Amino acid sequence: MAIALPGFANVHSHAFQRLLRGSVQRRDPQREDSFWTWRERMYALATSLDLDGIEAAARLCYAECLEAGYTAVGEFHYLHNREDGSPYPEWLATTYAHARAARQVGIRLSLLWTVYARGGFDAPLQPEQRRFGVPDLDTAKLALDALMPLADTGAVRVGLALHSVRAVPRDWLGPLAEEARRRGLPIHAHVSEQPREVAECRRHYGLSPVQLLRAEGVLGPDFTAVHATWLDDDDIEALARSRATVCLCPTTEGDLGDGIPPTAELHAAGIPLAIGSDSHAVIDPFAELRTAEYDARARTGCRCVLTDGSGDVGPALARIAHANGYDALGLPDGGDRVFLRDDARVFERVRDLLPVALLAGHPGLVERVDVAGQTVVEGGRHVLR
């Protein structure tokens, strides 16, 4: 009999970045490499994809997510315009392309429509960023209104994403959060991913990104801070008081050299944690969970950091993988399940299967995946293959 687990939620995805895999694993010996140089390669990819290419990339990414055990994905979507930055005649064309891709492969989708309005704290959009651009608050409001019918289609949910405090003007933050809450939508944002972002935010506003979001009324139980890597104690307290969620993306944070978040402190403060594969350098929920726990151990010098009230790691990781993620995406459970091969050698002579599955597991163990009562992966392969 297969081992059944609740489906995993991939809370933070940029599907098109799946196409970067492998091509960014080389550094020019004459220059340093960092998140900011990686971003240049990401911009080049983003401005090269036509509408069909965006949909094909999403379909590829979501099918791989399902085969890895993810049954739901939060698409932090900001490829709004044409390659040259001009709008499509159907101005939400790329958004609908992601929804079609998700439906085709059968994954639950929380489509987090992203506001990206400037190139930095005091900079306009650069030419390579114009594809992401949202010109004004009214456009964002109209987009949310136009997308609301998607929320009635079952497997697709709509949400709002604020790209980051560097890409969204301060006087937009509060009004956008109000618009999202008026419609009952989850709110997500990249938060404190890089030390430079934190330093620039403090220089411009005298506040950290978390404190800025709190001051503008963005934080709340419907808010998810993605990454939250560079926090101080006041930031952690603000997130805890607001009952916000933090989405960790350990494989991307490692791939980009972002840093290791204060996972132990976030967990100790009672902040719900979730996981995401972000740039999709790796699509593997087992790796995200294992790395989150092991990074916390390495940072604190303690074992068994992410635990439940009984001190067990397995149930705590299972909650991070499923319940916290589905809550952050505003998605119903619907009985989504992942079935692992019980004849795999990793489970031989093991009593407690859950921690073994989550800390020693890998996508090769996935035998079957059911979403909303439909089998979408059988024998470890997507049924459409």
Catalytic residue numbers, as ranges: 227, 278
Q: Tell me the sheet residues that pair with 227.
A: 191
**AA identity, residue 53:** G
Let me know: does 376 contact 106? Beta carbons within 8 Å.
yes
**Cα three-residue angle 276-281-285, rounded to 5 degrees:** 40
Provide the strand spans (E) within the chain. Answer: 3-6, 8-13, 70-77, 108-115, 156-162, 187-191, 223-227, 245-248, 273-275, 337-340, 366-371, 374-378, 381-382
Query: How far is residue 358 from each of residues 142, 289, 290, measured CA to CA in Å?
Result: 42, 7, 7
Report which of 124, 224, 215 is spatially closest to residue 167, judged by C-alpha positions.
124
Distance CA 140, CA 341 (A): 45
| Dihedral angle over CA of 278, 284, 289, 295, nearest 10 | -70
358's tokens: 């989550």
Distance CA 190, CA 168 (A): 11
Put the strands of the sheet holding 3-6 in their side by side order.
3-6, 337-340, 366-371, 374-378, 381-382
DSSP labels, 76-123 = EE---S-TTSPPPSSTTHHHHHHHHHHHHHT-EEEEEEEE---SBTTB
Report which of 110, 108, 152 is spatially closest to residue 371, judged by C-alpha positions.
108
The β-bridge relationship of strands 8-13 and 70-77 is: parallel
